[in-house]
Structure formats: structure tokens, C-alpha cells
Amino acid sequence: MARFVPLSQAVAENLGNGDSVAFEGFTHLIPTAAAHEAIRQGFRDLTLIRMTPDVVYDQMIGMGLARKLIFSYAGNPGVGLLRRLRDAVENGFPHKLEIEEHSHAAMANAYEAGAAGLPCAIFRGYRGAELARVNPNIKFIECPFTGESLAAVPALRPDVVFIHAQKADRKGNVLVEGIVGIQKEAVLAAKRAVVTVEEVVDDFSDLHPNLTILPHWTVTDIAVVPGGAHPSYTHGYYARDNAEYLKWDKIAADRDLFRDWMQKNVLDATPEDFVDRVEKLRDAG
């Protein structure tokens, strides 16, 4: 059964230096508060995994947590570049970053393969694309039944996955509504899974049985962090904070401005400060 613990404890007891880790969220339900706690605790040499890494991965890379990034599409959605990521790749600042780029289809299939306990994912993909020229983990195999050429990539089996969700019940089952992305498969593929939630309810007896529910035995720890996905959105609770994404482009463009912002809003803050800041931003908006 999943434990209910403070966010700082969940991060400290599930994430370690050198781990492979995914803070998953596909535009929706991005676990920002959990990523900020990882930054505060100063982990190093992480392999970061994510479909569509955006602002929170820009922050983690800029603060020197990452050794490698396995990803599909990296950018500040609706705005442009991830400037800290680009600085790391092009200039080795704050240090060199190894990258392994895939398509969305490859990442989704690799998570599904990991969830199924398979060594690799096999799918129709990369036809006419050139990523295989720069990514040695993209292979092609011949189907033994049809002779068709199919793409193959290693399964993704992170040491730990962090996601954000709407609700958990008191038994530790987790409800995810709206755009689910690849969160469910990522949790099932991981050795350990930590979920931040908006609230805890008694049970899910009044909900439709086909809603996405992660049973308690798939989750290691749960932390209650209202607003924990900000500036992304949580369906049914708050909207996406587009202004924060626009602000980030200017902040990330300057190394000193970036460091000052991170010091004030992450390093010198606490999970409780994060919740308070989100509430103030939402009230002001």
C-alpha cells in the first residue's frame, strides 16, 4: 500500500544520485513541485526521461542535476526554446549534457514495453527520418512473420517516476483525469513511483469505473501538494498559467537572472512556499 508522506520525504527516500528518473506530464499535470524539491535536495548525475520536456526540465538542467536527457521534443510550449538546455548542449554550461532524442511514438512505445517487462519496443516508425543517424539506440529489425522492417528502441524502466494527479483515496489509489499522456505507463514501468495530488478523498465509489485509476500497489508514496502542477494545469482544479511560460523565456535567457530566480523561488523556498506562491498567483490572475 502506498504511503502518505511529506513531499520532501518522498523525494529524499525515492530519488538518488545517478538515478534514471521521469517527471512525466504531457502539457497537463506536470509535477513541478516534485521537481523543485529534487532541485532543492541537490541531486546530481541524473538521467532525465520525458516526453516533451519543458520549463521544469530546463530548470533542472540549468541547476546541474542532469547527466543525460532521454526525450522527444524539447521546448517551452507556445513560446520557443529551452534556453538552459540549449546552453548545456552547445556550451557545456553548467556542464556537458548527453542527449538521446526520440519521437513521441518511440517514447510512448518504450514506456509501454517497460510497463510490460519487455526488453525493447517494436513499432512502425522513423521511416524517412534521420534520428537513427545520431541515436544508436534506434535499430531496425525484420518482422519474422511478414518481413517488414520495423523500428526498435530499448524499453524505458526508470528507477523512479514522479507524476501529479487530481486525487488519491485513503487506500492510496490514484485518480488521473483529463489528458493522461504517458503517466500511467511510466508509473507501471518504474521501480518506484511518487505521486503528488491536489487532495485526498475517502474513496472513488461515486466515479465512473473506466476513469484512469492507478491502484495503490503501483504507487510507492503520495504527497498532498495543492497546485503542485503549476504553471501547467490540473483538469478540474486550475488552468494553465500562460504568463509564467512567457516570463520564463526571458529568465532562462540570462545565466545570472536564471540563477537569481531559482535561488528565490526554488532553493530558498519550501513545498509550503510553493503552494502559497501558486495560490497568490491564482488570486492575482
- The pLDDT-based confidence of 175 (bands split at 50, 70, 90) is very high
Give CA–CA dist 187/218, Å, rounded.
7
115 occurs within a structural domain: yes
Shared domain for 54 and 110, answered yes or no, is: no
Shared domain for 121 and 216, answered yes or no, is: no
Q: How many residues does the chain have?
A: 285
Shared domain for 5 and 71, answered yes or no, is: yes
171 occurs within a structural domain: yes
Question: CA-based Rg of the chain, rounded to a whole angstrom?
Answer: 19
| pLDDT value of position 256 | 98
227 occurs within a structural domain: yes
Shared domain for 163 and 250, answered yes or no, is: yes
Q: What is the DSSP string of 135-198?
A: -TT-EEEE-TTT--EEEEEEPP--SEEEEEEEEEETTS-EEE-S--TTHHHHHHHSSEEEEEEE
| pLDDT value of position 284 | 63
283 occurs within a structural domain: no
Give CA–CA dist 158/152, Å, rounded.
18
pLDDT one-digit tens code per residue, 105-146: 999 999 999 999 999 999 999 988 899 999 999 999 999 999
Give CA–CA dist 180/207, Å, rounded.
17
Shared domain for 6 and 74, answered yes or no, is: yes
pLDDT one-digit tens code per residue, 249-264: 999 999 999 999 999 9
pLDDT one-digit tens code per residue, 182-201: 999 999 999 999 999 999 99
Shared domain for 259 and 119, answered yes or no, is: no
* Boundaries of domain holding 39: 1-99+155-276
The SS3 of residue 12 is: helix
Number of domains observed in the structure of the chain:
2
Shared domain for 3 and 40, answered yes or no, is: yes
Shared domain for 147 and 192, answered yes or no, is: no
- Nearest Cα to 273, choosing from 230, 211, 218? 230
Shared domain for 6 and 71, answered yes or no, is: yes
| pLDDT value of position 228 | 96
